[in-house]
Amino acid sequence: MPETVFVLDFGAQYAQLIARRIREQGVYCEIVPYDTPWSALAARKPAALVLSGGPESTLVEGAPEMDDEILNSGVPMLGICYGMQLLARDVGAELVKLDHAEYGPATLVVGDRETPLFDGVPDESRAWMSHGDSVVSLPDGYRALASTARCHVAAMGNPQKKIYAVQFHPEVVHTEHGRTVLANFLAEVAGLSRDWKMDSFVDRSIGEIRARVGGDRVICALSGGVDSAVAATLVARAIGEQLTCVFVDHGLLRKNEAEEVLGAFRELLHLNVVAIDARERFLRKLSGVDDPERKRIIIGHEFIDVFEREAAKIPGVKYLVQGTLYPDVIESKTPASKAGKKIKSHHNVGGLPEQMGLELIEPLRSLFKDEVRELGRALGLPANIVGRQPFPGPGLAVRIIGDVTEERLEVLRAADAIVREEIDAAGLDPHPWQYFAVLTPVKSVGVMGDGRTYANLVAIRAITSEDGMTADWARLPHALLGRISARIVNEVRGVNRIAYDITTKPPATVEWE
Ligand code: XMP
């Protein structure tokens, strides 16, 4: 078993981010509820504990607490925000409610260099604060290690007991030296060897999946995207032929994509894949539909229908694998705001398990997208799958404004392939997050050779983004835009004009539809 750090989750917004930062430091980490009894933790031999932040105040009756035995367990501990306040309260420090809560950036001043927590952190740096209570005095054995203008004790430590705490959030990128502080805690305070790699995650997950599934059958819908590919590969490593993957070709993929991903799944990853050619069926259902939301709904229904029919052919299937990532988990925790302000109904296979009475296997639930990519690489997935751009479930149907026909799909596929080829070849740094072509129904007059043309406008979209939630348009070099434009109008029949989309999200969305 790897050296494991447990994050006690007191309801933090950032518990997963803490876990991910710890894994980045080469230490295996899991999140457990704040009230996990010490006996349960002790059985797993924690190498260190991190107490997360949380929305409550320790000054209020009924604030979430940890098992008393944890404090005296002798395990190295790091409290963050609420976690610091709880530790402080439990060791007998004095806390007050601030007149004005401290939110956002603050200058952190390191005041103590005797302990290793701030090794390598400059005397002054930016830290991210988010608290309404503050520690004002400390009991014997504890020293104040850092402060901000508003927070007298922004970090504290007891070197004998290896108990440390910080009021700021070391896990967020806005805290300049947050990673160093976490690394110091893990290596210098807790003495961990920091040699954990994704390979260990693979071994662990395989063991868990095997134990859960036993001899049952499992099914997985492959979209060609990185998440479902990684999830399926991991499950296949665990249970081999008991997993059946279904790849529904709805005809809305990009140029050569269906062949490429299917080839990779079968030949490289040795997945057991049933491929269903549903291209005609999807096109028929989409015929004459130009409302984008209707397109999404039709595609979603058709997909479920085709998939269900295929699943019914597998006797005794009990589980469905889904490539749900941690950001999907957070988003689904706030259903009210999403449902209230739905902009687009995102099509994934979300509705499948309830309808089919299947239990879910979600091996990527604790991971972020870039961790999934790393996991994919550890599993030997080819670069064209691991590095694939996010691609909407309804595919090119939402990148064609208006009616979706085979002819229009052909035009878009050809234009889109040029956009991707040119941008890939340009070796941009930073590489845009997503880049594609959109076929608009706008027609305008042009001249080609000596003749008049009356053809379509194609829009190019290239964005930079962290997560697709917000985006900026990529500042592509003009020469590159020029090459893309010239190639599309010359090589793709039916297109005589190119526009580059220079809107951010918000107010625009990433996809046009
Ligand atoms: P929008 O257009 O909503 O897109 O700004 C944000 C990100 O989500 C992708 N997208 C989808 N992803 N199923 C998906 O899995 C969908 O139905 C879907 N629609 C949009 C989009 O490509 C962008 O990365």
**CB of 345 sitting under 6 A from ligand 1:** no
Determine the atom of ligand 1 nearest the C-alpha atom of 296.
17
> Is any atom of ligand 1 closer than 6 Å to the C-beta of 392?
yes
- The residue nearest atom 4 of ligand 1, judged by CA position, is 510
- Catalytic residues, which ones? 81, 169, 171
Rounded mean pLDDT of the chain? 91
pLDDT mean over 457-463: 98
pLDDT at 481 over 60: yes
pLDDT at 339: 31
Query: Does residue 16 contact residue 326 with C-beta atoms inside 8 Å?
Result: yes
Class of domain 198-386: alpha beta
Beta-carbon count within 10 A of 447 CB: 9
Please tell me if the CB atom of residue 369 comes closer than 6 angstroms to any atom of ligand 1: no
> Where does the pLDDT of residue 370 fall: very low under 50, low under 70, confident under 90, or very high at 90 and above?
confident
Where in 169-224 does DSSP place strands (E)? Answer: 217-222
pLDDT recorded at residue 356: 75
* Same fold flag, 4-189 and 198-386: yes
Identify the pLDDT of residue 280: 97
483: Cα within 13 Å, side-chain hemisphere:
13
Fold of 399-500: GMP Synthetase; Chain A, domain 3 (3.30.300)
Is 168 or 365 the better-scoring residue by pLDDT?
168
> In angstroms, what is the span from residue 34 Cα to ligand 1's centroid?
34
What pLDDT does 512 receive?
A: 95
Please report, as a single letter, which amino acid is at residue 210: R
pLDDT tens digits for range 42-60: 999 999 999 999 989 999 9
The tokens describing 105, both together, are 């950036």
Average pLDDT, integer, range 223-243 = 95
Q: Decide whether any atom of ligand 1 lies within 6 Å of the 223 Cβ.
A: no
Q: Per-residue pLDDT averaged across 136-144, rounded? A: 95
**Is 393's C-beta closer than 6 angstroms to any atom of ligand 1?**
yes
Parse the chain into domains and list their residue ranges.
4-189, 198-386, 399-500
pLDDT tens-digit series, residues 425-457: 999 988 999 999 999 999 999 998 889 999 999
109 pLDDT above the threshold of 50: yes
Question: Quick one: which atom of ligand 1 is closest to the CA of 391?
Answer: 22
pLDDT digit string (tens) for 314-350?
998 999 999 988 767 655 543 333 333 455 565 554 4
What CATH class has 4-189?
A: alpha beta
The residue type at 401: I
* pTM of this prediction exceeds 0.95: no
Q: Residue 352 has what pLDDT?
A: 62
Mutation test residue for ligand 1: of 297, 346, 470, 473, the one with most atoms within 8 Å of CB:
346
